[in-house]
Structure 1
Amino acid sequence: MTSTEELRDRVAAQLTRARARSVALTDAVDDDDLVRQHSKLMSPLVWDLAHIGNQEELWLVRDVGGREPVRADIDELYDAFKHARAVRPELPLLGPAEARRYVGEVRDKVFDVLERVPLEGDRLVDGGFAFGMIVQHEQQHDETMLATHQLRVGPPVLHAPPPPAGGPVGPAEVLVPGGPFTMGTSTEAWALDNERPAHQAFTRPFFIDTAPVTNRAYAEFIADGGYTDPRWWSEAGWAHARKASLEAPRFWLREGDRWYRQAFGAVAPLVDDQPVVHVCYYEAEAYARWAGKRLPTEVEWEKAARFDPATGRSRRYPWGDEEPTEAHANLGQRHLSPAPVGAYPAGASPLGVHQLIGDVWEWTSSDFHGYTGFEVFPYAEYSQVFFGSDYKVLRGGSFGTDPAAVRATFRNWDFPIRRQIFAGFRCARDAAPQELA
């Protein structure tokens, strides 16, 4: 049982760690870069920074703490639903120095609230939920800011050691048995509303790739005319591929017969055994069809990630219930690329599926909807307003996702055309009767 003081210490440590990352991402560039919009798809970095502080103020200072507003006059500027990313540079935003002062003042008040508020007795604070929600919100925006850095033009400003070397992963695909399993969660203290409630889900037997699709494999799809053959594309995918002139994953460059990849201001030869990244849903779908497979459903992905056939229970993570370490997964911006296949044998699932957590977000074939019994908490704009067929679900996190903001029940979503996110995929297929004999 975690004591209240231990919980306060954990919350404080997570808040501090998230802020250190936000500072590193914004201090890495000068003020001109902070206020510049590097892509119409993204906000200026300075907007993300102040938005982080504003959400923290709204939920922790005002709501949980019951304190007077710090800057009520800027609430509308940093409401993500009031202004699209493309127009945010035109707003009277806080400048870099003012934004830094603001988030610092808010954080000081948050630590005071944390020391005084009971972390029980109300759903919003039970188990430190509101604080955990804000930690995850900041880390999610840190990943968004990392994606902005990827889109930034200029010399490298972010640095990290290379990921560990790859290794053997066994067969190319793994059979996942049919039957029921527990999907979602009703017990994870900081789980967000779309992960809830825990419920029984069912799959037929299926095969899933042991590892994400690699650069080498994806280059074979390109070489075989994958981008010029409509047989492999859905009608919507083919229309988008033609409209957007898709020829390869975003940030791939070809010189002669060799592929290179631009990443965070540096260009280097493509690493063959790293998972492919910066592909949209339609590209993933087309590759899977070309390979004679399909994308996994969200239910299949979670079963492959959580189901333990020896006990029948669902784990928090593929490797068990313990929090991720550097031995389990490529998370937290420790590296600035996916790790080669087989780099994390300790992170494999009981069925032998590798790298389900970290490296690249994985597209699934599922639209984003609430589970049966879904309940909005604490606000509809986090999940519910995105439900529907416009968004596809992604699972598993990327090298830019913090451990606080991903678990085997965590659900991400985006438009199927998006490529600036750190997304890749793995394939699945139905199991034939003779394969089950």
Structure 2
Amino acid sequence: MTDRPTRTAGLPADPPAAIPAEELRRRALDSLTAARDRTSLLTSCVDDRELTAQHSPLMSPLVWDLAHIGNQEEQWLLRTVGGRDAIRPEIDSVYDAFEHPRSARPTLPLLPPSEARAYAADVRGRVLDIVERTPLHGGGPLLDAGFAFGMIAQHEQQHDETMLITHQLRRGPAALTAPPPPAGDTSGLPSEVLVPAGPFTMGTSTEPWALDNERPAHQRLVPAFLIDTVPVTNGAYLEFIEDGGYTEERWWAPEGWAQIREHNIGAPLFWRREGGQWLRRRFGAVEPVPAQEPVLHVSWYEADAYARWAGRRLPSEEEWEKAARHDPASGRSSRYPWGDEEATPERANLGQRHLQPAPAGSYPEGASPLGVRQLIGDVWEWTSSDFLPYPGFAAFPYREYSEVFFGGAHKVLRGGSFAVDAVACRGTFRNWDLPVRRQIFSGFRTARSADSVITDSVIADSVIADSGTAGSAGSGGA
């Protein structure tokens, strides 16, 4: 993949009415364009045979994602927002993600690649006219602050991440390239950071393009805890493997132990041991496992087992968000760990700019006020929490986005990965998946509860030593 910069369209945390309509319009157009550029790159780098093949029963054929993106855009922006007649109503059910599981999608009457491209382009051409003509204030919650356009841009970028997962699963020569991420350095960093006890504002009521499961903002009282300064690395995870982590039942949840026994799992997905060395396959290339890079492609069960082995645990969702957003000095929660300003290449590894996580200790400009690094980008981080609604949750604009997934079946992931764009990643963004999933760009960091009495030495080691790397929160609300 080329190192081509893209423009993203995150919005400031002001009330939507305070954002000028023309600024909203520009950002909506930029977001939709950036998403389509990425989609085009992911679907033009392989031939039609690769686009129509199902590379794993866990994933759709790439051509299904391409037409599904166009169909969702047609249904929401052309028909619902624009009031236009349907272009291809007969394909709505074919590209309904709830009607057809991924494993069954190759059997559907899918549009062939050339037709899927033409359809998506036709929809986009008409949508651009709607963006220019639609009032972005006073038209109801679907239009206020351009929410519908932001929702569709996020949807397409999420499918771009899904398609990148498919590229990782496909066999054959590499189709994508990208420059390596910047070097990291953990020297001088404490291994963990103390997050003091107290309330903080979780979620948001003012982020214009926030999705329903991020809302509303509410207070959470969180006891003091310590959290890893950086995500768990491959080198640290190798210690778990070499200490027999995959052969000791005591570290595993019963369902996780059953999974590794049934499928003979002994390392992260795409790893193999050869000639005394651990190798991994990454987008068609085989390379040594880099010790300083955050571990990737591990399930929730693997993350949980490692944490138990290390005498720690996974952070809860509220602990993760407090570590990422809360500034003890001001008492407020910012949009990102570094403040309210937009993500930049100096702050986070996002947008498929690099096709791998950055080494631990990277992006000091993206650190939280307490000095926690790499909370946004690099890897989605498993938390201990089930995916549940916030107090006062209201489904919007449709139940199937979040509500049908609530419950104990799915675990929450936070922070985003190198594969997701900034428009679909922020301090309040919630991802979720089944705890067995390994093909996703998932990693983790660990935490532990703080003792009731914290000694001066622990505070010095965990907080003061890293104060020089802390980011500063900007203005705005939660």
Q: 1:133 aligns with which of 120, 136, 151?
A: 151
For 1:17 and 1:401, locate their aligned partners in 2 and report how far apart those are by CA, in whole Å: 12
Q: 1:7 aligns with which of 2, 19, 24?
A: 24
Aligned twin of 2:167? 149
For 1:130 and 1:221, locate their aligned partners in 2 and report how far apart those are by CA, in whole Å: 45
Q: Deviations over 1:169-196 (max 9, x none)?
A: 6100001001100000000000000000
Aligned twin of 2:471? none
Q: Does 1:119 align with 2:101?
A: no
Q: SS where residue 401 of structure 2 aligns?
A: coil
Equivalent AA in structure 1 for residue 21 of structure 2 = T
Q: SS where residue 399 of structure 2 aligns?
A: coil
Aligned twin of 2:70? 53
For 1:284 and 1:385, locate their aligned partners in 2 and report how far apart those are by CA, in whole Å: 25
For 1:434 and 1:120, locate their aligned partners in 2 and report how far apart those are by CA, in whole Å: 51
Aligned twin of 1:404? 423
Moved over 2 A (4+): 433-437
Question: Cα offset for 1:436?
Answer: 4.8
Aligned twin of 1:95? 112
For 1:70 and 1:9, locate their aligned partners in 2 and report how far apart those are by CA, in whole Å: 26
Q: SS where residue 60 of structure 1 aligns?
A: helix
Aligned residues: 437
Aligned twin of 2:15? none
For 1:305 and 1:297, locate their aligned partners in 2 and report how far apart those are by CA, in whole Å: 12
Question: Cα offset for 1:9?
Answer: 1.3
Aligned pairs (5 A) from 1:351-390: 351-390=370-409
Aligned twin of 1:78? 95
Q: 1:332 aligns with which of 317, 333, 351?
A: 351
User: Aligned-pair RMSD on alpha carbons?
Assistant: 0.8
Aligned pairs (5 A) from 1:197-212: 197-212=216-231
Q: Deviations over 1:235-273 (max 9, x none)?
A: 121111111211000001111321111100001111100
For 1:356 and 1:112, locate their aligned partners in 2 and report how far apart those are by CA, in whole Å: 38
For 1:375 and 1:7, locate their aligned partners in 2 and report how far apart those are by CA, in whole Å: 24
Question: Cα offset for 1:79?
Answer: 0.3
Q: 2:326 aligns with which of 307, 324, 334?
A: 307
For 2:132 and 2:68, locate their aligned partners in 1 and report how far apart those are by CA, in whole Å: 24
For 1:241 and 1:87, locate their aligned partners in 2 and report how far apart those are by CA, in whole Å: 26
Aligned twin of 2:14? none
Aligned twin of 1:66? 83
Aligned twin of 1:158? 176
For 1:433 and 1:321, locate their aligned partners in 2 and report how far apart those are by CA, in whole Å: 33
Q: Which has the higher contact order (CA 8 A, sep 6+)?
A: 2
Question: Cα offset for 1:425?
Answer: 0.2
Question: Cα offset for 1:281?
Answer: 0.1
Equivalent AA in structure 1 for residue 363 of structure 2 = Y
Unpaired segments ≥5 residues, structure 1: none
Equivalent AA in structure 2 for residue 367 of structure 1 = D
Q: Does 1:394 align with 2:410?
A: no
Aligned twin of 1:31? 48
For 2:364 and 2:133, locate their aligned partners in 1 and report how far apart those are by CA, in whole Å: 43
Cα pair 2:19 2:145 within 8 Å, conserved: no
Q: SS where residue 102 of structure 1 aligns?
A: helix
The percent of aligned pairs where both chains have the same amino acid is 66
Q: Deviations over 1:188-216 (max 9, x none)?
A: 00000000000001111000000000000
